[in-house]
Amino acid sequence: MNDTYDLRGAESHIEVHKFRAGAIIGTLLLVLFLQKFLPLYVSKAEILDLPLLITVYFGLSRRNPSTGLLLGMAIGLAQDSLSGMTVPLGLYGIAKTLIGYLASSIGARLDTEHPAARFALTAIFFVTHQGLISLTRRILLAQTEPWFNMHLLAGALVNALVAVFLFLLLDRLRKR
Determine phi and psi for 144, rounding to 5 degrees. -85, 135
**Under rule CB under 8 A, residue 69 binds another protein:** yes
8-state DSSP, 145: -
Q: Going by C-beta distance under 8 Å and a sequence separation of 6 or more, which residues neighbour residue 9?
A: none
**Under rule CB under 8 A, residue 98 binds another protein:** yes
Name which position in 56, 57, 93, 123 contacts another protein (CB under 8 A). Answer: 93
- Report d(CA 59, CA 67) in Å as an integer: 8
In contact, 31 and 55? CB cutoff 8 Å: no
Instruction: Bin 15: left if φ > 0, else alpha if -120 < ψ < 50, else beta.
Output: beta
| CB nearer another protein, residue 65 or residue 167 | 65
- Report d(CA 13, CA 15) in Å as an integer: 6
| CB nearer another protein, residue 116 or residue 139 | 139
Question: Shortest Cβ distance from residue 151 to another protein (Å)?
Answer: 8
Q: Which of the ranges 8-16, 54-62, 97-105, 164-172 carries the binding residues for another protein, by CB under 8 A? A: 97-105
Nearest to 79 by CA among 55, 56, 45: 55
**Under rule CB under 8 A, residue 83 binds another protein:** yes
Per rule CB under 8 A, count of chain residues that contact another protein:
46
| CB nearer another protein, residue 91 or residue 170 | 91
User: Which segments of 42-90 does DSSP mark as H helices, in order?
Assistant: 50-62, 65-82
**Under rule CB under 8 A, residue 51 binds another protein:** yes
**Under rule CB under 8 A, residue 24 binds another protein:** no
Query: Which residues form the interface with another protein (CB under 8 A)?
Result: 29, 32-33, 35-41, 43, 46-47, 49, 51, 64-66, 69-70, 73, 77-79, 81-94, 97-98, 101, 133, 136, 140-141, 155
